[in-house]
Amino acid sequence: MAWTFPVALFFFLIVALLVVFSLLAIRFPETPRRGALGIQTTRGDRLFITLVGSAFINMGWLYFFGAPLTGALVVSALYGLVVFRWV
Amino acid sequence: MSLKVQNNKAWFLVLPVLVLVMFSAVIPLMTVVNYAFNDTFGNNQFFWNGLGWFEEMVQSERLHAALGRQVLFTGIILLVEVPLGIFVALNMPKKGFWASLCLVLMSLPLLIPFNVVGTIWQIFCRVDIGLLGRAAAALGIDYNYTSDAFDAWVTLIIMDVWHWTSLVALLCYAGLQSIPQAYYHAARIDQSTRWNTFRYIELPKISGVLLIAILLRFIDSFMIYTEPFVVTGGGPGNATTFLSIDLVKMAIGQFDLGPAAAFSLMYFLVILLVSWVFYTVMVTRDAEQDR
């Protein structure tokens, strides 16, 4: 098995995100809030919604426009901002 | 809803499980991701292929067709098993010898391994030696699950209904048993019809377990592999080639590891999304009931 750097980087970023959010949850505890979706979310939930949503945005981009995914990345970033602000 | 700030440190107690899951799930998943971005001709040599496999799979007619069949199958399974399970649960004896007997008999299909269920139905439905197949032929019904796509679908659906309706029924039965008699007395005093008793007393009380039942049936039927593999092998033609059957054909049959990995990641995402939606709905419901 030849492990490749981009895949390793991807998983490193995910793990780093999880660690950062865990530390945030310990250091700055929060109360869940009810946002645009009508469900209670914490920062971690919003991170999950952002990541899963981004995966689908990238899949949709591949379907409609194909590679490269630069545009999808921009859309995902905007989507993430919206999720963290309003959900 | 509690407005109390939660102390999250207890989450550290989950760490040992996390380590275990690392080995059983996360590292294999990382391997799949790595495969999805590489091409290999064996000999442990890999060539970077970027988004190529994902582009190919997302546009693939074959994948779209398998997804369509899968959604149709899961839809039919849920539409049949959920109402039927509720109906069976409503009509089961509430206590005594017959209740126990019903529970045991209904648990039996759940205990049979998937491939054995497949084999039972494969033989049961054969036109030459199977009881059902022969009986259908004797009645003049043109039934052959190996050559007719519609018959193959009917066979698989009946098999799944036989195998899993008990699960829905048993969960609903447990939910029904927990309704205090006082509710029924009140309904009788109000001269509630049978339907209204079900709609306003029983259904709200079993909706929690019912959601779990629907989630389990969704996941299981969406990932179904063994039974159709044993009974029809995905045939006739591609008529019953559901997502996981197609995936295995691609990965192990054709040895197209890259496309299969890309395919399975997208498959995983769909399951993840739907499971998350169900989970959120359940948790939100519970939180609202606690208020």
Are A50 and A86 contained in the same domain?
yes
Are A36 and A26 contained in the same domain?
no
Are A23 and A36 contained in the same domain?
no
Pick one of 1.10.287.130, 3.40.50.10800, 1.10.3720.10, 3.40.50.720 as the CATH number of B62-290: 1.10.3720.10
Question: Which residue bears the tokens 């080995």?
Answer: B23
Domain of A70, in residue numbers? 32-87
Are A4 and A40 contained in the same domain?
no
Inter-residue long-range contacts of B259-265, CB under 8 Å, 24+ positions, other chains counted: B259/B53, B259/B56, B259/B57, B259/B60, B260/B35, B261/B32, B261/B33, B261/B35, B261/B36, B261/B53, B262/B36, B262/B53, B262/B54, B262/B56, B262/B57, B263/B57, B263/B63, B264/B32, B265/B32, B265/B33, B265/B36
ipTM score of the complex? Answer: 0.88
Over range B188-202, report the average pLDDT.
89
pLDDT tens for B217-240 read: 998 999 999 999 999 988 788 889
Contact at CB, B33 and A10, closer than 8 angstroms: yes
Contact at CB, B5 and A31, closer than 8 angstroms: yes
Sign of CA pseudo-dihedral A82, A83, A86, B4: negative
Are A48 and A68 contained in the same domain?
yes
Q: How many domains does chain A have?
A: 2
Q: Tell me how close the Cα of A2 comes to any Cα of chain B, in angstroms.
A: 6
Contact at CB, A52 and B46, closer than 8 angstroms: no
The pTM (predicted TM-score) of the whole model is 0.85
Are A6 and A48 contained in the same domain?
no
B30 vs A: CB within 8 A: yes
Are A21 and A3 contained in the same domain?
yes
Are A4 and A19 contained in the same domain?
yes
Smallest Cβ distance to A29: which of B8, B30, B48? Answer: B8
B229 in Cβ contact with B10 (< 8 Å): no
Smallest Cβ distance to A2: which of B1, B8, B38? Answer: B38
B10 vs A: CB within 8 A: no
Over range A81-87, report the average pLDDT.
88
Higher pLDDT, B171 or B43: B171
Chain B residue numbers with beta carbons less than 8 Å from the beta carbon of A76 are none
What pLDDT is recorded for position B68? 93
Q: Tell me how close the Cα of A68 comes to any Cα of chain B, in angstroms.
A: 8
Are A38 and A24 contained in the same domain?
no
Are A24 and A61 contained in the same domain?
no
B45 vs A: CB within 8 A: yes
pLDDT tens for B98-135 read: 999 999 999 999 999 999 999 999 999 998 888 999 99
pLDDT tens for A37-80 read: 778 888 888 999 999 999 999 999 988 988 788 888 999 999 99
